[in-house]
Amino acid sequence: MRATEPKNHRARAVLSLIGDTPMAPLRFEKEGLTIHAKCEFRNASGSVKDRLAKHVLLDAEGNGTLTPESIILECSSGNTGIALSMVGAAMGYRVTILMSSSASGERRKLIRQLGADLILFESAGRYQTGIEISRAMAAQDPRYFLPRQFENPLNVIDHEQSTGREIVAQIKSPIDAFVHGYGTGGTLAGCGKAIKKRWPQARIYAMEPAEQALLAGECPCCHFIEGVADGFIPPLLRDAPLDGRVEITSEEAMAMTRRLHREFGLLVGTSSGANVVAALQMAAELGPKATIVTLLCDRAERYFSTALFDLPGREQIADSHPALV
């Protein structure tokens, strides 16, 4: 039992808006296929990463690692930074996010709006740079608490016990395949374990950008499926019960994401489109009766400045509208 009430106890209602996300069946009429998509964009800050932020910070607070003086410090290209900033704000802790200077303006603004400090670094595409900076900062100042999303075993445990368990409860028939991208690999490993435990015959597939198929032995390279494949194979992925991998091009991912916006009204990010293309490929391979599950990872609002929103405009000045002239 804690001797004192946790910090900012009364402002924590937002934590109850994390997890228990809906599962949506998506019927693709043209393809004659249905897949099941777990709507992780419904988490409070808009991404699957809210789960990790909530679990790691509550755990650290519970075991006394996170103290009122602590400053939460993490390197993140976006969703984890936004999630930690939100959960940190609600729990009453200071948060500092390290981010590559190439990260999009909307992500930076969301983090600052949530009251966190932002430190930008020149990375030349190397994510490891930020991780090294966070370790150097923590070595000099004991107030820093590092969630260490890329190596923290709680990342996998939480997805096995929350996301994975929810999937198993939501899908009544045996799952034939689960396919999902990887950033830290936590979601894929945790959900994969929970699904295999319930249905050992289920196949677990990693989606990765065709431009950077690291699991196929390719080298890091530029792709536009943000949130996944940060240029190295994350250690937590070793824990994933993988049966195979699916390559999706950035172009396919973007085209499907726009279809999800326009045909389904689902305003999600590019990796969700990539996951859906991969799930449809599995469905086509395993047949229309197969049960295929994937995740819609985050909301579209953090991609406004990216190529995803480079669309021919349909805006018109009212005066020039045929009905009004």
CA separation for the pair 204, 245 (Å, rounded)? 8
Active-site entry in 38, 45, 47, 49: 49
| Percent of the chain as helix, strand, coil, to the nearest 5 | 45, 20, 35
Q: Is 130 one of the binding residues for ligand PLP (CB under 6 A)? A: no
Coil, helix or strand for 213? coil
Within its chain, how far is the Cα of 312 from the centroid?
28
Stretch that binds ligand PLP, among 93-101, 134-142, 176-184, 278-286 (CB under 6 A): 176-184
| The binder of ligand PLP chosen from 19, 164, 185, 273 (CB under 6 A) | 185
Residue 271 is among the residues annotated as catalytic for this protein:
yes
Q: Is 183 one of the binding residues for ligand PLP (CB under 6 A)? A: yes
CB burial string 291-314: b at 16+ within 10 A, e below? bbbbbbbbbbebbeebebeeeeee
Residue nearest to ligand PLP (CB): 227
Q: Is 184 one of the binding residues for ligand PLP (CB under 6 A)? A: yes
CA separation for the pair 314, 193 (Å, rounded)? 45
Coil, helix or strand for 36? strand
Q: Is 49 one of the binding residues for ligand PLP (CB under 6 A)? A: yes
Q: Is 45 one of the binding residues for ligand PLP (CB under 6 A)? A: no
Q: Is 273 one of the binding residues for ligand PLP (CB under 6 A)? A: no
Residue 139 CB partners (closer than 8 Å, separation 6+) = none
Binding residue count for ligand PLP, defined by CB under 6 A: 19
CA separation for the pair 89, 45 (Å, rounded)? 12
CB 300 → ligand PLP: shortest distance, Å?
Answer: 11
Which is nearer to ligand PLP, 88 or 181 (by Cβ)?
181
Stretch that binds ligand PLP, among 47-55, 69-77, 166-174, 250-258 (CB under 6 A): 47-55
Residue 49 is among the residues annotated as catalytic for this protein:
yes
Quick one: tokens of 56? 């790691």
CA separation for the pair 289, 24 (Å, rounded)? 17
Which is nearer to ligand PLP, 81 or 185 (by Cβ)?
185
CB 94 → ligand PLP: shortest distance, Å?
Answer: 23
**Interface residue list for ligand PLP (CB under 6 A):** 47-49, 79, 180-188, 227-228, 269, 271, 297-298
